[in-house]
Amino acid sequence: MRHPNNLCPVRAKAVFKEFFDKHPNDLNPTDINSATKLKFWEERKFEGLFECQWYRKRNTKRNDYPAPWTRKSYWDDRKQSGEKA
């Protein structure tokens, strides 16, 4: 899979994990439609937002998007099974 310059799935995955650990009741951190999400991105100085949006929104089967770890259910399943991400 080709990634645009400077985009790293490992960094984006870490941001999704951080968000879902802090906000288990929210769904998609890339849609900044609540005060909670806005505060999360402001605290990070919006670092990683573009990467997260890229891996979440580029939904094409050819490129295998969106990445499974962009979904809340991915992190919930890992917590329940005790599996590391």
Which is more confident, 38 or 7? 38
Which is more confident, 58 or 41? 41
Helix axis angle for 9-22 and 49-57, nearest 10°, is 100
pLDDT tens-digit series, residues 11-24: 999 999 999 999 99
What CA–CA distance (Å, rounded) separates 17 from 21?
A: 6
Domain ranges of the chain: 17-81
pLDDT tens-digit series, residues 38-54: 999 999 999 999 889 88
Write down the mean pLDDT value for the chain: 84
Q: What is the model's pLDDT at position 85?
A: 59
Rounded average pLDDT over 22-39: 93
